[in-house]
Amino acid sequence: MDGCSCSSDIDFPSDISQETIDKTKEHPCYSKFAHDYARMHIPVASSCNISCKYCNRKYDCLHETRPGVTSEVLTPKQAADKFLEVKNELDNLKVVGIAGPGDSLANFKETKRSIELIKKIDPETTFCISTNGLLLNQYAEEIVDLDISHLTVTINAVDPKVGAQIYDYIKYQDRVLNGEEAAEVLLENQLEGLKHLADKDVLCKINIVLIKGINDHHVEEVVQTVKDYGAFMTNIMPLIPAKGSKFENMSLVSNQELNQVREKCEQDLKQMYHCQQCRADAIGKLSQDKSAKFRTANYEPLEAELYLNNPQEKILFAVASKTGDLIDQHFGHVTEFYIYSFKAGKIELVETRAVEHYCKDKECLDKEQQIEDIGELLADCRALLCIRIGYEPKQYLEENGLQCIQLYDTIEQGINSVIEDQLLEDIS
């Protein structure tokens, strides 16, 4: 079984139980072959105990898709109720994860209670938590007692000098620590907790945010270190600049650069290539998120009478969608755009327009002619709505008059929100 490696088979550690191996085969984040199974992130952990320079703690976001954002924060009871609702509709739901919007261990009371309640509903559920690791050593035994079989720890540096460039501060034992001292305490707790849990039949994945000019030279050392402490695999992820964070204008790595680092590190430890960098309230398959359909904190679409001043104007939107229901596809993966019209408050599907993949295999190729063709294809559209788009195609399209908006939502609500938030002044 190839848990998540893109190239070669790598065996499970000899001391991992068969039960954990079987759960991993149904865990879409740990096995690329588990793509038919669904997972559910329950956003019960609202607060965080460290400040990362790439993070913006304004997590209550309906439309953005990245780790740490959610449309709502649930109580443990609400999380259990929602689990039952989702379980009744998705019979392939196998995994419940807690990945924010803050830190699962900084909110351990809520994390623990949520797991206990869901276990009463379905004892066969696989539980998985993500953490920054500051309290990992403190809660290691309770994690084992809760039968949490899979754990993700974000470790971006194993050198406090590098860590000090990534973290503003940590809150630990009633103290606020900064700089290298903060990075050193964080690292010590991360590695001690990792070692403890890896020895207790917990499969541990390490997330590493690749930050150009900060830790890109250091990632191989991180991978080698966490391997020595028992990590099963690492997931090297590109930085997603969060608006309002200190790193919002940081240079990005290309897919080619990212995969070059992954391939080097694969010589030491299993690598994950299929991460979607999901929201804290993600639901469904990795490739087909359904969380927008289960939201309780929704909003009203705009009323048509807002546009009666311009009843004849029709606005076209190009939508990147896997399903035809949601804005849920990366620009580079589109083979056809859904073209929607908005007129006097009414949204209608006009047609689909075929296009050649902009991204192929592991790389998004910078093809001038190809992006020019896409620009011409969508020239009559006011905006492109997609879950994500690379810097270069976004820059080209916007320079040529096509606004590129990254969001995750149902198509109708997404178009309404764009009209309300960004285009109302132009058309009223």
Provide the sign of the torsion angle of the four alpha carbons 200, 280, 264, 212, taken in this order: negative
Name, in order, each residue with C-beta under 8 angstroms of 315's C-beta and a sequence gap of 6 or more: 341, 342, 343, 382, 419, 423, 427
The answer to whether 348 and 337 are in contact (CB under 8 A) is no
Boundary (domain end) residue, out of 257, 292, 327: 292
The SS3 call for residue 174 is coil
Residues counted in the chain:
428
Answer yes or no: do 43 and 181 share one domain.
yes
Answer yes or no: do 162 and 55 share one domain.
yes
* pLDDT for residue 63: 34
Boundary (domain end) residue, out of 250, 265, 292: 292
Answer yes or no: do 197 and 277 share one domain.
yes
Answer yes or no: do 281 and 403 share one domain.
no
DSSP strands (E only) in 161-228:
167-172, 175-178, 203-210
Phi, psi of 158 (to 5 degrees): -120, 15
* pLDDT for residue 126: 86
Amino acid at 99: A
Tell me how crowded residue 137 is: count the other CB atoms within 10 A of its CB.
Answer: 18
Inside any domain, residue 180: yes
- The DSSP element (H or E) to which 127 belongs, if any, is strand 126-131
Q: Which of 92, 100, 29 is nearest to 70 (CA)?
A: 100
* pLDDT for residue 229: 94
What is the distance between the alpha carbons of residues 36 and 323, in angstroms, rounded to a whole number? Answer: 16
Q: Please name every residue paired with 95 in a beta bridge, in sequence order, or none if there are none.
A: 39, 126
* CATH code, domain carrying 407: 3.30.420.130
* pLDDT for residue 424: 45
Tokens of 156: 């971006």
What is the distance between the alpha carbons of residues 418 and 413, in angstroms, rounded to a whole number? Answer: 9
Phi, psi of 118 (to 5 degrees): -70, -35
DSSP strands (E only) in 181-321:
203-210, 233-238, 283-285, 288-289, 315-319
Answer yes or no: do 211 and 322 share one domain.
no
DSSP strands (E only) in 262-367:
283-285, 288-289, 315-319, 326-327, 336-343, 346-354, 359-360, 363-364
Q: Please name every residue paired with 52 in a beta bridge, in sequence order, or none if there are none.
A: 167
Q: CB-hemisphere CA count at 13 Å for 391?
A: 12
Inside any domain, residue 11: no
Using CB atoms within 10 Å of the CB of residue 232, give its burial: 0 to 12 exposed, 13 to 18 middle, 19+ buried: buried
Q: Please name every residue paired with 386 in a beta bridge, in sequence order, or none if there are none.
A: 406
Inside any domain, residue 2: no
Inside any domain, residue 354: yes
Inside any domain, residue 327: yes
The SS3 call for residue 227 is helix
Inside any domain, residue 13: no
Boundary (domain end) residue, out of 262, 292, 322: 292
* pLDDT for residue 136: 94
Answer yes or no: do 305 and 288 share one domain.
no
Domain interval for residue 238: 18-292
Answer yes or no: do 281 and 161 share one domain.
yes
Inside any domain, residue 10: no
Low-confidence ranges of the chain (pLDDT < 70): 1-14, 28, 33-35, 56-71, 243, 274-278, 286-292, 295-313, 359-367, 420-428
Answer yes or no: do 352 and 237 share one domain.
no
Average predicted confidence (pLDDT) for the chain: 79
The answer to whether 422 and 342 are in contact (CB under 8 A) is no
Tell me how crowded residue 116 is: count the other CB atoms within 10 A of its CB.
Answer: 12
DSSP count for the chain of H helices, then E strands: 12, 20
Answer yes or no: do 233 and 359 share one domain.
no
Strands 93-98, 126-131: pairing kind: parallel
Inside any domain, residue 1: no
DSSP string of 49-88, one letter each residue: SEEETT--S--B-SS--STT-BS----HHHHHHHHHHHHH
* CATH code, domain carrying 102: 3.20.20.70
When divided into structural domains, the chain yields a total of 2
Answer yes or no: do 223 and 310 share one domain.
no
Answer yes or no: do 224 and 347 share one domain.
no
* pLDDT for residue 162: 94
* pLDDT for residue 10: 43
Answer yes or no: do 340 and 225 share one domain.
no
